[in-house]
Amino acid sequence: MHLQYEDFEKIMDIGIRLSTEKNRNRLLMTILDKGMEITNCDASTLYLYENGELKFQFMKTLSQGISRGLDGEAIDLPPVPMKEENVCSYAAIHREVVNIPDVYTSSRFDFSGPRQYDSLTGYRTQSQLVVPLVNNENELIGVLQLINAMEEDGSVTAFNEEYEIIIRALGAIAAIELTNLSYVEALKTQIYSFVEALTTALEERTPYNALHTRNVERYTSLLADHITQLHREGKCDKFFDPARKEQLMLAALIHDIGKMVVPLSIMNKATRLDKRIEKVDDRFQLLRALYEVDLLRGRITSEEYEAVSRDLEAEIAFIHKIDVIEHVSEEDCEHIRKLAEKQHVSEDGEVLFYLTKEEAECLSIRNGTLTVQERKEMENHVVMTSKILEKVQFYKGFSMVPKWVGAHHEYMDGSGYPNGLKGDELDLETRLLTVVDIYDALVATDRPYKEPISRQGAIQILKDMAQRGKVDLQLVEWLDEALGEEDPAGA
């Protein structure tokens, strides 16, 4: 049997398929299946070279309906040692194609294994074509063993020598693509290890938000999977294939990396005054002592001293209350303004205000614990995240990560930061990260400055934000569905 034009067309198609296949197992199966198809053989075994041995990866025998390893299960056979009496090992050691017309008449190699297999199964192993899979750097990747070439009438024959060069070329292309896939996987592993290291450093840096990155990662995965399932059911046109989801998950892990440069005094600011409360307490004790001195020196009466003492006690209690409450009212802000004007004047004219300008500003924060300036520094973490990621050379499969991460605080109406992007300027992945980031911030239990909100409470806040044009309503609804499926009884 000689090579036909159709054979060359088939070989070219296989080469194209191998060069575009990104899944390692599917690529390996393509080598096995196409090798069998080209040579019209009945059986084959694919070995991978690992730890100095040839490990069984796939086995297939058409006439007996045998197919092992193709669904990912391990083949429970011992690896083939690299000894020259084994035909596969010989081909691997010498990087040489071996063509055996009949193993029962050949004394060149030890074929006791195939013969024993035949005696147990009733199969008759006859011809073999053994091809080493070697890449362009002459590195051994594995071995393809083709068994029992078939004539058109179904009889077993020897492998045509014309096929040796074709199968060897197929093996070389496959080996190169496997090597390329290994390089890509190694690159991905390196990027993920870099991200894990930075994430761990960020988690260790502050006790607050320690779980935030992991939670955003989990919610991102949950929502992406839910969207993909809806696509399978024909309910939406969006979906996340493995490559797209992989890139999204990296973005989730690295989305807050810029917080590495935010001062800990801001990152760890648990209350409006935080550590400043100690100075306020000390000052009020000093004020009490100064008023006592005024009493002893006759500058104020006993009644005036009692009144100012009650006032000091009431004001410090008010300060401690305002320091930790979730929302400060307009009335409270006015009280703080007047409190900041109160002062003690000593005999020599030295003035001591009850509150400094900075303390009054902190206490007047309506929501949260950060002043306008502190919030700007915190918001700057997005800019710093982009600057950090600009220094990272992402391979093309992760090239969108910096864009998505740098915009995860943008809003649909353009009111977000840092660049005021809006609408179609925000990719689906960016909008998704925004929703899950806000959701986790609302339900988080490790924020000392706020009580956690229930799942439904957080979803309602997100829906309200969507109604105001801030976030994507569809994504909020899908997140609600995904969370409900994960925990139907969750509140």
Short-list 382, 391, 456, CA closest to 419? 382
Residue 340, token pair as written in the block: 């900041």
> Quick one: 241 and 363 in the same domain?
no
> Which amino acid, residue 102?
D
- Pairing mode, if any, of strands 41-50 and 140-150? antiparallel
Strand partners, 344: 352
pLDDT of residue 14: 60
Write out pLDDT tens, residues 306-349.
Answer: 999 999 999 999 999 999 998 999 999 999 999 999 999 998 99
> Quick one: 459 and 330 in the same domain?
no
> Quick one: 315 and 350 in the same domain?
yes
Is 193 inside any structural domain? no
At residue 489 the predicted structure's pLDDT band, cuts being 50, 70 and 90, is: low
Domain count, the chain: 3
Q: Specify the CATH number for the domain of residue 67.
A: 3.30.450.40
- Cα separation, 443 vs 220, whole angstroms: 15
> Quick one: 356 and 430 in the same domain?
no
Whether 67 has a pLDDT exceeding 60, the answer reads: yes
**Would you tell me the crossing angle of helices 473-486 and 428-443 to the nearest 10 degrees?**
60
> Quick one: 124 and 94 in the same domain?
yes
Write out pLDDT tens, residues 154-195.
Answer: 899 999 887 787 787 777 777 777 777 777 777 778 777 877
Is 196 inside any structural domain? no
> Quick one: 320 and 400 in the same domain?
no
Is 202 inside any structural domain? no
> Quick one: 87 and 11 in the same domain?
yes
> Euclidean distance between the first and final Cα of the chain, in Å?
71
Alpha-carbon torsion angle 169, 175, 181, 184, nearest 10: -100
- Cα separation, 305 vs 3, whole angstroms: 112
Residue 152 belongs to domain spanning:
5-181
Handedness of CA 444, 445, 450, 451 (dihedral sign): positive
Whether 207 has a pLDDT exceeding 70, the answer reads: no
User: CB count, 10 Å around CB of 237?
Assistant: 7
> Quick one: 62 and 111 in the same domain?
yes
> Quick one: 328 and 454 in the same domain?
no
Is 307 inside any structural domain? yes
**Would you tell me the crossing angle of helices 24-39 and 5-20 to the nearest 10 degrees?**
170
Q: Which of 64-78, 151-165, 235-249, 462-476 is predicted least confidently?
A: 64-78
Which residue spans within 289-373 are E strands per DSSP? 343-345, 351-353
Whether 210 has a pLDDT exceeding 70, the answer reads: no
Q: Specify the CATH number for the domain of residue 431.
A: 1.10.3210.10
Is 58 inside any structural domain? yes
> Quick one: 335 and 389 in the same domain?
no
Mean pLDDT of 376-400: 85
